[in-house]
Structure 1
Amino acid sequence: MTTPLITLDHIHQAYSGRTVLNIESLAIESGSIIGLAGPNGSGKSTLLRLLAFLDSPNQGTLSFMGSPTSTKPGAVHRQVTLLVQEPYLLKRTVHANIAYGLKVRGKSDISTKVHNALIEVGLAPDLFMARQWYELSGGEAQRVALAARLVLKPKVLLMDEPTASLDTQSAERIRKAALQARANNGTSLVIASHDLKWLEEVSDKTIHLADGYITAIK
């Protein structure tokens, strides 16, 4: 039996004494697409932050490839990445933003990798490589933020309302690029979205949350 990529066991998360997430058990398989559905405040973003290993659970065990994440935090962080609704870019050029993670990891042939990542998200490299962060529209900024994550070929790509408030073209390119990462690299996707139609179309299963609890898995 294959070990799940990420497992959560008796996870409880509370802020200021208020429970925001309470999950008895959950497993995310390698190469799967998981949808997260639920109203605002249901726990989707909290769950994504735990899955991204940005927060540690107050109680319970969070494991990556069979080992508790507390035993190898650095190695785990480099294999999981989170794309949030409001893109954060460094105050640098598009090239520098996408290249940053590659340089930190000591990768070679950086310009070629940046070039290919821009193509993946539907932005012409010749037009966008040298652009500054402030010269981008909201949709372009989100696509650059996604390219900066896809270029690292993560094992897990987490997306928190990735297409909310975007123009139609940018939203479609982000959806396609994420699915292509799964097809080409086996990247597991966990997508929180209010677009239930899209989640039902692309997800292997959709987890429905309410008040921090899993109410259904479809």
Structure 2
Amino acid sequence: MAETKEPLVRLEGLCKSYDTQVAVERFDLSIAKGEFVVLLGPSGSGKTTVLSMLGGFTEPSEGRVLIEGADVTALPPAKRPTATVFQDYALFPHMSVRANVGFGLAMRKVSRVARDIRADEVLKLVGLEGFGSRRVHQLSGGQRQRVALARAIAVKPAVLLLDEPLGALDLALRRQMQEELVHIQKRLGTSFVHVTHDQEEAMSVADKIVVMNKGRVEDRGTPSRIYRRPASLFTATFMGENNILPAKLVARSGDELTVETALGRFLLVGGEDASALQPGAALHVALRPEQIFPAATAPEDAVPLGAAILTELVFQGTHWRAHAKAGGKGALDLLLRLPPDLAPAAGEALDILARPQDMTVLTR
């Protein structure tokens, strides 16, 4: 039997309350060595509080933080095998880039020669070779972000914590830095825990996404699973655009569910949460805009959803973003992504189809 590896990080039952306000409630998470984990959620969801408890900046009201098998719950940040990159970078303007990068090593009493060598190594890693003698004010926003990242990497943490580190960058630079973060993380083999409210950023960098809402975990899994098979109504609507169809359970046989919607009756596969449902139960079905096809481009295993009347169209290069009315008397609003060469027109009636395997049953 293969030996099960102990997770690098274990967060057990973390709770944080401020007077009567609960910021985080019963948060559990295991992080493997070399894993890139993203805590994703809207403002106030508790994601930054979790990161702060992991880094030692906030004391949990309950629960434990274990890193490399050791309970570090009571240890201050400087005593933990972690390093943090903040959104505002927190660089020292009176120091050179090299001195900024070596600051954590200086606090660990590493010699000047050794820390300068290490600083130059990590500056090369983040694409700033030859920048060591420059001052912070001589750098662009993206370069400052890389210096902050280099400073955190220099101390060789077991876990690198990133608190919305790309939030201050413009869109093009943010996308570039997302790719570079993944490249650096894979080269280092260090576990990264990254906080963001940007769904696209989360899917671009993560091995695992933890979706948070009101201090609780809504969902966790790979980016593909979270996007294609969300576990809750919140996740389905937070992770990009989605069509949410009110539905009623007509019959259930094992994990096969017959559900009735405004677009028709479908035989779908439900998850574990659906096992206790009884006929007549109210639920929802999620269907992504790109999973709805016009008849001309529908796959063979797609089933008809009826006709949709196009009401609004915006050309976005790779597709037409279309709003439509469907269902009985056009009572259901749908969002579609139509092929760019379709040349649709507002007011046009379009026969639409979808594959049952693309429909996700939501019970909560």
Which TM-score applies when normalising by structure 1? Answer: 0.87
3-state SS of paired residue (2:118): helix
How far apart are residue 170 of structure 1 and its match?
A: 4.6
- 8 A Cα contact 1:4 1:27, kept in partner: yes
TM-aligned CA distance change 1:211 to 1:37, over 3 Å: same
TM-aligned CA distance change 1:63 to 1:89, over 3 Å: same
Q: Which of 112, 117, 129 is equivalent to 2:122?
A: 117
- 8 A Cα contact 2:12 2:27, kept in partner: yes
Where does structure 1 lack aligned partners over 5 or more consecutive residues? none
After superposition, where does 1:2-81 map in structure 2 within 5 Å? Answer: 2-70=5-73, 76-77=79-80, 79-81=81-83
Q: CA RMSD in A?
A: 2.3
Q: Which of 181, 184, 189 is equivalent to 2:187?
A: 184
How far apart are residue 174 of structure 1 and its match?
A: 3.8
Specify which structure has the higher proportion of helix: 1
Q: Tell me how far apart the structure 1 counterparts of residues 125 and 135 of structure 2 sit (CA, whole Å).
A: 19
How far apart are residue 71 of structure 1 and its match?
A: 6.6
The 10-residue stretch of structure 1 (81-90 or 190-199) with the greater mean CA deviation from structure 2:
190-199
Q: Tell me how far apart the structure 1 counterparts of residues 156 and 52 of structure 2 sit (CA, whole Å).
A: 19
Residue 162 of structure 1 corresponds to 165
Cα deviations across residues 134-191 of structure 1 (Å, max 9, x unaligned)?
A: 3333222221111111122211111121111314565356434433443233200111
Q: Is the counterpart of residue 209 in structure 1 residue 179 in structure 2?
A: no
Cα deviations across residues 16-49 of structure 1 (Å, max 9, x unaligned)?
A: 3311111342211111111111101111111111
How far apart are residue 82 of structure 1 and its match?
A: 1.2
Q: Is the counterpart of residue 136 in structure 1 residue 136 in structure 2?
A: no
Specify which structure has the higher proportion of strand: 2
TM-aligned CA distance change 1:97 to 1:178, over 3 Å: same
Cα deviations across residues 112-154 of structure 1 (Å, max 9, x unaligned)?
A: 32222222222242xx322222333322222111111112221
Q: Tell me how far apart the structure 1 counterparts of residues 166 and 77 of structure 2 sit (CA, whole Å).
A: 29
Where does structure 2 lack aligned partners over 5 or more consecutive residues? 222-364
How far apart are residue 75 of structure 1 and its match?
A: 7.5
- 8 A Cα contact 2:57 2:77, kept in partner: no
Structure number with bigger Rg = 2
Matched AA of 2:58: D
Cα deviations across residues 40-80 of structure 1 (Å, max 9, x unaligned)?
A: 11111111111112222011122122221147657852x21
Instruction: Percent identity, please.
Output: 31
Residue 254 of structure 2 corresponds to none
Q: Is the counterpart of residue 82 in structure 1 residue 49 in structure 2?
A: no
- 8 A Cα contact 1:37 1:44, kept in partner: yes
Matched AA of 2:117: T
Which TM-score applies when normalising by structure 2? Answer: 0.54
